[in-house]
Amino acid sequence: MEIVIPINIFAQYFEAKDSRKLTLLRQLLRSMEKQKLRKEGESNAVYGNTARAQIRSTILYSGDHRYTNKKLKEIKALKPERKWDITDQKVNIRVLEKFLKMSLPESIQNSDLEKINPKITTMPFHGIYIKIVPTLVFRTVINGKKKIGACMVHSSQQHPFSVAESKIVSALLYLFLSNALLEEDEEVDNELCFCLDMYAGTTIASNKFFPSDMKTIKKICADLPNNWVLAANQLAA
């Protein structure tokens, strides 16, 4: 049995009650089944993609919000007619306006960043495969040292991350970079592995000494298999 779970579901699983854990896994399994049945080329668009793309661009430009404000002005000038496009416009505006009020790691604001496009998207860890697709992965040089970092943007209005959940995400980003992308002359910078939660209004970086986060991650990995089987059986019943 192979368990592949996206990083956001993995994080939410941590603080969920038993019934919520099963709900998360059933929803994930249904989503995986629908994806298998989806025809090639069929759209899987979600609200807020324009905002997420702009957040990525702004971070690459050292957090220069002139680019955010320019995109926000462009989005507000649109006159959408379709119901989906109207909602998408509202989500993009709301997310970018929240982003303008958020802080970014100070070292990003003083560095040139080079975007990386990872080919690896899953990380095996204690018998579980965690799907990790950061919003942005980048390389930079700080004080003469080559660094690598990653950012995950979470913009769920219904389920914003708690601080603990964001810490799990940032810790997993750190592990992902360390295990899958780190080159010999580089180091992973804890401050540059961070989770931006738009609706919680938090910027949480990986803790340099995160044994408690690792203990939590291992505990989740140990708990998942039994509930995964139970959720699958409930769907099959």
Q: What is the pLDDT of residues 131-188, one digit of tens each?
A: 999 999 999 999 899 999 999 999 999 999 999 999 999 999 999 999 888 888 999 9
Is pLDDT of 44 > 70?
no
Q: Would you state the pLDDT for residue 43?
A: 59
Mapped onto helix, strand or coil, the DSSP state of residue 114 is: strand
Average pLDDT over residues 201-215: 80
Q: What mean pLDDT is predicted for residues 93-122? A: 92
With respect to residue 144, please indicate whether it lies within any of the assigned structural domains: yes
In this structure, is residue 9 part of a structural domain?
A: yes
pLDDT at 210: 61
CA 91 to chain centre: 17
Rounded to an integer, the average pLDDT of 222-232 is: 96
Q: Which long-range contacts (CB under 8 A, 24 or more apart) does 217-223 make?
A: 217/125, 217/126, 217/168, 217/171, 217/172, 218/126, 220/10, 220/13, 220/14, 220/168, 221/125, 221/126, 221/127, 221/128, 222/126, 223/13, 223/21
pLDDT band at 61 (very low <50, low <70, confident <90, very high): very high
H-assigned helices in 112-210: 163-176
C-alpha to C-alpha distance for 231 and 216, rounded to whole angstroms: 22
Give the domain range for residue 13: 4-35+111-236
Q: Which of 220, 121, 124, 230 is nearest to 165 (CA)?
A: 220
- Scored b (16 or more CB within 10 A) or e, 178-208 reads eeebeeeebebbbbbbbbbbbbbebbbbbbe
- Taking residues 109-114, report their average pLDDT: 88
Looking at residue 223, its pLDDT comes to 95
Residue with tokens 């793309």: 53
Q: What is the pLDDT of residue 231?
A: 96
The answer to whether residue 192 sits within a structural domain is yes
Is there a domain that residue 67 lies in? no
CA atoms within 13 A on the CB side of 53: 9
Instruction: State residue 42's pLDDT score.
Output: 58
Tell me, yes or no, if the pTM score tops 0.75: yes
**Residue of higher predicted confidence among 135 and 43:** 135
> Is residue 211 scored above 80 in pLDDT?
no
- Give strand ranges (E) for the chain: 4-6, 114-116, 122-125, 128-131, 136-142, 145-154, 187-197, 202-205
* Within-domain flag for 133: yes
Report if residue 77 sits inside a domain. no
Residues 149/189, Cβ–Cβ less than 8 Å: yes
> Do the domain assignments include residue 92?
no
Domain count of the fold of the chain: 1
Residue 154 CA to residue 52 CA, distance in Å, equals 9
Confidence of residue 107 (pLDDT cuts 50, 70, 90): confident
Q: Are strands 128-131 and 4-6 parallel, antiparallel or unpaired?
A: parallel
Q: Say which residue, 127 or 210, is predicted with more confidence.
A: 127
Output the CA–CA distances (angstroms, integers) from residue 56 to 64, 82, 233, in the order listed.
Answer: 11, 26, 39
Confidence band for 33, pLDDT divided at 50, 70 and 90: confident
Domain membership of residue 98 (yes or no) is: no
